Amino acid sequence: MAKVCTKDIVEKFGLELICGEEGIHRPITTSDISRPGIEISGYFEFYPAERIQLIGKTELTFAENLLVIERQLRFERLCTDITPGIIISRGLDVPPELIQAAVRESVPVLRTKQKTTRFSSLLTNYLESKFAPTTAVHGVLVDVYGVGVLITGKSGIGKSETALELVKRGHRLVADDCVEIRQEDEYTLVGTSPELIEHLLEIRGLGIINVMTLFGAGSVLSNKKISMVIDLDLWESTKNYERIGLDEEKIKIIDIEIPKLTIPVHPGRNLAVIIEVAAMNFRLKRMGINSAEQFTNRLADVIDDK
């Protein structure tokens, strides 16, 4: 199934449908948008017919100066059986030759009142998000002090219970159990919840609870940029866990590497407080304050003095 079709952008941006209703369900296969100025001038050698065609004042003004027969031929070549739609910006009048050609090939002709550059930016951002690489991860995503923390670990280790404690402490839940992740650009991962389980937490022994109903609208978020991963690991005395924090572990999700902390789970450890401190420490590092480096520098100074 197509990720997005012409009808989706009509509904998303409130576009006016001029003609070509039969093609409203045509799939959009690329996030690229075409400004067919050079095609209207007569050059169709590399015409990207599979893209949304966005026509502004410049293209229409040029078309008005063509002979009627030339205008008809150019618009006929502009409308193909794979063109998902032609959008006229600024609320401009649609040339009758374009309407005739679009009706013949069932190409939707749409109109927006927005300026061409502004609408092109909005539409590109929307399509980029729809075509972004995606994956799903078993875990819990929580917004802690503005930091998107993805909590992972084996089933039953206490991820949801930790998220519940964080929500009680004033932080916000994004997703529980299944986190859908999309890569919006080469540096950004955004996590969301599947619609079926949005705002829900599963607590073993208690069942499913609705976080928004219990704690209010301020306790949930629809999406959040993922900044770090905290992996809950059952404590083993034979394992070596990070004691200072100099070595930063990374985990790769889709094409992006993000920081990962492994937190051993042991009776008596307050995981919610540890995750809060981890989030605050992450923010400090982004501001250039690294406590582990400061400690090692002090230690090196003491050794040098002796």
CA distance 160 to 150: 12
| Four-CA torsion 45, 49, 55, 61, nearest 10 degrees | 30
| Four-CA torsion 168, 169, 175, 181, nearest 10 degrees | 180
Distance, CA of 282 to chain centre: 22
CA distance 30 to 47: 14
Residue 160 annotated as binding? yes
Residue 154 annotated as binding? yes
CA distance 94 to 281: 57
Residue 153 annotated as binding? yes
Residue 289 annotated as binding? no
**Is 176 one of the annotated active-site residues of the chain?**
no
Say which residues have a Cβ less than 8 Å from residue 35's Cβ, sequence separation at least 6: 53, 54, 55, 56, 59, 116, 120
* From 32, 77, 177, 285, the catalytic residue: 177
Say which residues have a Cβ less than 8 Å from residue 257's Cβ, sequence separation at least 6: 250, 251
Place of tokens 């509904």: 11
Residue 158 annotated as binding? yes
Closest alpha carbon to 144 in 273, 262, 250, 264: 273
Residue 202 annotated as binding? yes
Residue 115 annotated as binding? no
Residue 89 annotated as binding? no
What percent of the residues of the chain are helix, what percent strand, and what percent coil, each to the nearest 5?
A: 35, 25, 35
**Is 243 one of the annotated active-site residues of the chain?**
yes
* From 12, 138, 239, 269, the catalytic residue: 138
Q: How far is CA 84 from CA 81, 106, 130, in A?
A: 8, 10, 16
* From 71, 159, 171, 172, the catalytic residue: 159
Residue 218 annotated as binding? no
**Helical axes 271-286 vs 159-168, angle rounded to 10°:** 70
CA distance 187 to 176: 24
* From 243, 252, 305, 306, the catalytic residue: 243
Catalytic residues, by residue number, are 138, 159, 177, 243
Binding-site residue set:
153-160, 202
Please give the annotated binding residues for Mg(2+), written as ranges.
160, 202
Q: Which residues are annotated as a binding site for ATP?
A: 153-160
